[in-house]
Structure 1
Amino acid sequence: MKTELIAVRAEEQDTTLVERAQQGDTEAFGELIDRYRGQAHGWAERMTGDPHLADDIVQDALIRAFLHVGSLADTSRFLPWFHRIVRNQANMRMRRGGPYGKEKPLSSWKKPDTGSVDWDNLDSILGHLTRSASIAARAEQDPAHQLMRKELYETIHAVLHCLTRKERNIFEAYFFRQLSPEEIADLFQMSVGSIYTYLHRTRRKLRDERIRSSLALLPDKEESPLRRSRMLHLPDWPPHTGTAVTLIDRIGHWLAALGNQRETDELMGVSGFAFRMKISDKTTFADGIYIYDWRTEITSLLRSLGYESTVLCGQLAASPVPLLAAAERFPVVLPIEEAVLPFIRQYIDLGKPVLYFDTSAARPFVHEWSLMYGYDDDAREVALTDVMIADGKRLSYDELADNPLRFLVGIDGMVERTSAKTNPIVVDPKSRAELAMREAVRYSRHGCTYRHGTVYLSYTSGLAAYDRWIGHLTTGHPNRYGMGQLAYVYADTRRHAARYLRSLPLGGEALRLALLASEAYEQAAASLGALSAEVPFVRTTELLTEEARTACASWLKEAKEFETAAVGYLEKAIIELHIKER
């Protein structure tokens, strides 16, 4: 009876979570997946007999479930529905030619009747396969096909040299001697988990080496390139110095590392981030904070600060790319370290950190901007900052290459005067102040100019974003986690807006109006701060109560009133500046 009661309660919880997920609540969907990911992997592995292929199948099934959860009519039937998705994905993979498609694993090659091959020796096996393919190429009717197979064997022979002796031994035991992971663990006096780790790492290394060989990137084995390492010292950057907008926070820390200390208020003001707001039209997802033209905005901001820069960006093929609306114009790139490490080494060797978009930031963040300040070829790691880890963290070269959204920026040097003539940099403090105020007014009245092409994502920006946000609270189903980040970030940006306006080198009536705008932004920040206190930026599946949603909507209405007044004061201050000039 007790077991039946637990099962009924679990089903009721599933039903509630599915209903919330259908309304766009990603935390609810995430909790469902946490419950059943292991079970789904078991289904997929039993169908395919391959734990690694099962990983891919489950990943595909999760994406399809997320996209189609709204079509589930009977919300109490989530588990059978999800099981059917996993089964269909597994069947689809098997119909494509089994778990390996057109490529057979080494373990599926049949041993021909010959006594000249040592089937426990990898080099002997590959040598035999290469010779056999060469003979078949002369005898078969389709020599081109056999020649391609010969080249494949030769390539495999080459790339397997990337493995250590222990990795090769485990590889041979698993793929050639057909031992199970449990038998290999007993053979090498290791845990079964460690064997799986070795096999996973071996597959990854072979994949990367195969790409390198196809691009002629394999090094000459006679040459041993010098391994290098370099770690830069970053200056202290206490929390009160920075901002919740981690792009601007990292740029401030970056410039400080180059000996050019800038006030965060100034960077927030001249970049325009102090005055921005963008809300998803679907729900209170936090992605709107990141949706803008990264390449243009970052290089333009650095240029306005006197620096030329270079961007390295891309997205991996066949990978779910976070923030697709920002990354959709990035080129498709290869998941190999040679595509990114030379860029990192180049700048760090010059004593310059590299701006990096990190999709593995510590919780509660999902992904954030960081500074990369070191690399170590022996450890195969890079060192970088993390918004939640005071001492920073390390990423392996493999993790770096596998980041589905690749974006790095290096500073090349100061802007040359000849270049500045065609693209003048505004250096006069008063002119820069007017430019920042004009941009703040334009953005508030007309919104963001960046237009992405992803049809299923849309956003509202500027003052109108407040109405969209309020609508999510009053008539929609707000995403609590995203809302916590939105409130946390936008309360902080308005505080910086207020401080920046107080620092402007204005006089007379224009100064008075700017100070009134500053006070209004301060009040908007207070209202958004109250919202942030009600919905803190933490991971939770707890729903907002009706009372909390009503209170949050009220604070947003207050914040909009204050910010609308602030924009009006800025418009009058700009007019006053031109009257004075006459």
Structure 2
Amino acid sequence: MYVENEASAIVKDRVIVQQYEIDSTLVERAQQGDTEAFGELIEQHRSKACDLAKRMTGDPHMADDVVQDALIRAFMHLGSLADTSRFLPWLHRIVRNQANMRLRRGGPYRKERPFTSMGAAVSEEPLVDWENLDSILYHLARTATDAAVRDQDPQENLLRKEMYETIHALLHCLTPKERGIFRAYFFRQLGPEEIASMYRMTTGSIYTYIHRSRQKLRKEHIRVALGLIPEKGECGMIRNKVLQMPDWPAQISVKSTFIDSIGRMLASMGDRREMAELMGVSSFAFRMKISDQTTFADSIYIFDWRRTLQTFMGELGYKITMLCGQLSDSPIPLLGAVERFPVVLPIEESVLPFIRKYIDLGKPVLYFDTQASKPYVHEWSVIYGYDEEQQIVYLSDQMLIEGKTLTYDEVTVNPVRFAAGIDGVLEPDVRPIRISEQKQQAERTVRFAVNYARNGCEYRPMTSYLKYTSGLIAYNRWIGHLRNSHVVPNRYGLGQLSAVYAEAKRYASLYLRSVPFEGEVMRLTLLASDAYEQAAEALEQLSSYVPFIRSSEMLLPDMLETCAVYLEKAKEFETAAVGYLEEALTFIREEKGSKYS
């Protein structure tokens, strides 16, 4: 028996040591930015964290909230964990801190109680305060109909009837889903588990809806009792609003939907910009990035979204506000671009008010749509309306001229949360932009183009297995994928890459023709413009040869070689264009030097 116990203890110790080693490896990967590694850590330890939170709070739904908060804090502060093998004790300490914080002074509810705690007080049989909406709702939640039959109290029956009618009159301030859940819980007396099954939601979400509905009803009840006019943004909020968007024909639209969507937003506000200006000033006309794995199209999207948008809109004279996040417990597309975003929860209140705020102000919202129409997989779009009754938003789609709709739930559970609204101009000024300022902006753009071509993109994914090559040497990577017998080029990605970059080089040419340079600088810039145009023609030939469509067609060796030849031609011309721009910058430096000498 002793030998068996000792053997069992040895096996147990080995399992513990092995778990410590696994934790240590996962933590080290997660500290380097690998969110998938963090996801594995959570999968292994979530149940233990939940058990601890339940023991401390005595409320499974409060425990869920505690664990969610703890996981977010663990993700944000993982870099502070020195002993990487001690992840579980460290996580437990965070859980305990969060639980204690919620339990202090009665938890987050303070004088209120969560509905889960009401059942414990049923035996107390408190009197109903018919002037207090909370008391009435609590009474209804405790099978008020049965109580009325048992009590046979005519006065209470009358008060109950009047209050039922009052509550029904107030329900307009709730969304359709909130009304349905409210009625099922308070009037039909269904349990949270039954309602969760009906709506295909978690029980915790049902309690969240009930709590939120109760808050809304209380505010509306006070407003009605005082005879106040509902204020916009409260229960009497605008029920729907759809902005009138300007026409956006195909000849205006561009395949770089980040820029296309921003152009639509500006046009809706009366600021019509030439697409060549937007593509040039944003620098998207001069970018190229290729995955180191194969011809995946994801490389088009891998850049610093927040910084790029902030800088670009600043160049245009606007200030913006962004809402960014990645959903917890969800597969994250384009991880290399969004891995620095904070982890967020799928809660309507964290994203829908942001959208409604800007739409109510008459401003559309930039939105990253992971449900784009084929052949796209995900793209930037513009949200230009919402409807509270139908619980939908209206947004643009690159493949649908008439646009489309998404439900609130679809927006809420989008694994990549990226939305941005324009707040206003940086420095209101009615005077036209001076030529000198236009020259300075053009010079900044040309400097970026040269630096990007020679040195590549400074943005690097933190996740080690996601690697990309950018700038002129991206052509080498791209050609290498086509001529490497050990790499299977991605047919779909090849089509999107060639279409997007062919158009980009075309706009690089158009932008350079519009800049206000003079003399030798302008001559060199025009030569660069011609070279970009020829690069665009070579890439357009490639795009025609391998169009951007969903296709199961195999790329045969002779097809791959033809594509590689087109790319070699495009690279030759773009290299020449960059050389001309470098010479132009040299002249600009010399002119500035002579001015101050």
Q: TM-score range by the shorter chain?
A: 0.5 to 0.7
- Aligned counterparts, 1:225-264, within 5 A: 225-227=235-237, 228-264=239-275
Using the TM superposition, give the Cα deviation of residue 226 of structure 1 relative to its aligned residue in structure 2, in angstroms.
Answer: 2.1
Give the C-alpha shift of residue 410 in structure 1: 0.7
Superposed displacement of residue 166, structure 1: 7.7
Q: What is the count of residue pairs matched by the alignment?
A: 426
Q: Among 476, 482, 497, which residue is 1:473 paired with?
A: 482
Which letter maps to 2:502? A
Counterpart amino acid of 2:236?
A: L
Q: By how many angstroms is 1:267 displaced?
A: 0.9
Correspondence 1:58-207 to 2 at 5 A: 131=119, 162-163=180-181, 202-204=199-201, 207=204
The Cα of 1:576 is off from its aligned counterpart by 1.9
Q: Give the Cα separation in 1 of the matches to 2:116 and 2:361.
A: 49
Q: 1:226–1:447: structure 2 CA closer, same or farther, 3 Å change rule?
A: same
1:459-480 Cα deviation digits (max 9, x unpaired): 0000010011111111021111
Distance 2:180 2:203 in 1: 8
Tell me which residue corresponds to 2:444.
Answer: 435
What CA distance in whole angstroms lies between the structure 1 residues aligned with 2:116 and 2:446? Answer: 74
Residues 1:284 and 2:295 aligned together: yes
Q: State the partner residue of 1:448.
A: 457
1:210: Cα distance to partner? 3.5
Structure 2 vs 1, CA of residues 571 and 200 (structure 1 numbering), >3 Å: closer, same or farther?
farther
DSSP-derived class of the 1:239 partner: coil
Aligned with 2:568 (options 557, 562, 572): 557
Q: 2-side partners of 1:401 and 1:127: how far apart? A: 24
Aligned to 1:527: 538
User: Structure 2: how far apart are the matches of 1:276 and 1:392?
Assistant: 28
Whether the aligned pair in 1 keeps the contact of 2:326 and 2:338 (CA below 8 Å) is: yes
426 and 407 in structure 1: CA distance in 2 versus 1, 3 angstrom threshold: farther
SS in 1 for 2:423: strand
Give the Cα–Cα distance (whole angstroms) in 2 for the partners of residues 128 and 417 of structure 1: 53
| Contact in 2 for aligned 1:528/1:555 (Cα 8 Å) | yes
Indicate conservation of the 8 Å contact 2:368/2:379, yes or no: yes
Contact kept, 8 Å, 1:280 with 1:458, in 2: the verdict is yes
Contiguous gaps of at least 5 residues in structure 1: 1-88, 106-125, 137-150, 177-197, 419-423
Are residues 1:317 and 2:313 paired?
no
Compare CA radii of gyration and give the structure with the larger one.
2
Residue pair 2:178, 2:209 contacting (<8 A) in 1 also: no
Of 346, 356, 369, the residue aligned with 1:358 is 369
Secondary structure of 2:380's match?
strand
- 2:460 aligned partner, one-letter code: R
**What code does the residue aligned with 1:362 have?**
S
Q: Secondary structure at the match of 1:428?
A: helix
Shift of 1:204: 2.7
Structure 1 distance, partners of 2:418, 2:116, is 44
- The residue identity in structure 2 corresponding to 1:464 is I
For the pair 1:331 / 2:342, whether they are aligned, the reply is: yes
**2:461 counterpart of 1:461:** no
TM superposition shift of 1:542:
2.1
**Contact (CA 8 Å) 1:291, 1:326: kept in 2 or not?**
yes
What is the alpha-carbon distance in structure 1 between the residues aligned to residue 262 and residue 216 of structure 2? Answer: 40
- Provide the secondary structure at the position in 2 that maps to 1:241: coil
Give yes or no for contact 1:209–1:218 (8 Å, CA) kept in 2.
no
Q: CA separation of 1:510/1:402 partners in 2, compared to 1, >3 Å: closer, same or farther? A: same
**2:207 aligned with 1:219:** no
The alpha carbon displacement at 1:162 in A equals: 4.9
- In the alignment, the residues of structure 1 paired with residue 115 and residue 271 of structure 2 have an alpha-carbon distance, to the nearest angstrom, of 60
**CA–CA separation in structure 2 for the residues paired with 1:415 and 1:131:** 55
Q: Which residue of 2 aligns with 1:303?
A: 314
Cα deviation 1:443-487 (Å, max 9, x = unaligned): 000000112211110000000100111111110211111111101
In 2, the alpha carbon distance for the partners of 1:338 and 1:376 equals 15
AA at the equivalent of 1:416: E
The CA deviation string for residues 19-64 of structure 1, in whole angstroms up to 9 with x for no partner, is: xxxxxxxxxxxxxxxxxxxxxxxxxxxxxxxxxxxxxxxxxxxxxx
Is 1:272 equivalent to 2:283 in the alignment?
Answer: yes
Report if aligned partners of 1:279, 1:288 keep a CA contact under 8 Å in 2: yes
Q: Could you say what secondary structure the match of 1:468 adopts? A: helix
Aligned partner of residue 282 in structure 1, secondary structure? coil
What's the offset of the Cα at 1:208? 3.4
Who is 1:208 aligned against?
205
Q: Does 1:496 align with 2:496?
A: no
Task: Provide the residue aligned with 2:227 in structure 1.
Answer: none
Q: Which residue is equivalent to 2:90?
A: none
CA shift in 2, pair 1:354/1:241, >3 Å: same
The structure-2 alpha-carbon separation of the partners of 1:128 and 1:477, relative to structure 1 and needing over 3 Å to count, comes to closer
The Cα shift of 1:296 comes to 0.9
Question: Which residue in 2 is equivalent to 1:147?
Answer: none
Instruction: Give the letter for the 1:226 counterpart.
Output: G
Note the aligned Cα RMSD (angstroms).
Answer: 3.8
1:19-38 to 2 correspondences below 5 Å: none
Q: Provide the identity percentage.
A: 49
Letter of the 2:364 counterpart: P
TM-score by length of 2: 0.65
User: Does the 8 A contact of 2:257 with 2:379 survive in 1?
Assistant: yes
Aligned-pair CA distance for 1:504: 1.4
- Tell me by how many angstroms 1:500 deviates: 0.7
Distance 2:416 2:115 in 1: 40
Find the counterpart in structure 2 of residue 32 from structure 1: none
Task: Name the aligned partner's letter for residue 215 of structure 2.
Answer: P
Deviations 1:95-129 (A, max 9, x none): 979xx999999xxxxxxxxxxxxxxxxxxxx9999
How far is the alpha carbon of 1:222 from its aligned partner?
3.9
CA contact (8 A) 2:324 2:341 kept: yes
Which amino acid in the other structure matches residue 199 of structure 2?
A: T
After superposition, the Cα gap between the structure-2 partners of 1:160 and 1:130, relative to the gap in structure 1 and judged at 3 Å, is: farther
Q: CA deviation at 1:221?
A: 3.2
- Residue 172 of structure 1: how far off its partner (Å): 5.8
Q: CA deviation at 1:541?
A: 2.3
Q: Deviations over 1:366-418 (max 9, x none)?
A: 11111111111111111110111001111111111010100000111110379
1:119-176 deviation per Cα after TM superposition (whole angstroms, max 9, x unaligned): xxxxxxx99996578779xxxxxxxxxxxxxx9xx89x9x997527689999969977
**Distance across 1 between alignment mates of 2:370 and 2:417:** 9
**Quick check: 2:323–2:419 contact (8 Å CA) kept in 1?**
yes
Give the 3 Å change call, closer, same or farther, for CA 481–247 of structure 1 in structure 2: same
Secondary structure, aligned partner of 2:458:
coil
The unaligned stretches of length 5 or more in structure 2 are 1-39, 62-113, 125-137, 145-176, 221-234
- d(CA) in 1 for partners of 2:385, 2:274: 25
The answer (yes or no) to whether the contact 2:184–2:190 under 8 Å persists in 1 is no
CA contact (8 A) 1:355 1:370 kept: yes
Q: Is the 8 A contact 1:208 1:335 kept in 2?
A: no
Look up the SS of the partner of 2:293 in the other structure: coil
Report deviation, 1:219. Answer: 2.3
Partners of 2:381 and 2:525 lie apart in 1 by 33
Tell me, yes or no, if the aligned pair for 1:286 and 1:486 is still in contact at 8 Å.
yes
Alignment counterpart, residue 367 of structure 1, candidates 369, 373, 378:
378
| Contact map agreement 1:426 1:432 (CA 8 A) in 2 | no
Query: What amino acid is aligned across from residue 217 of structure 2 in structure 1?
Result: K
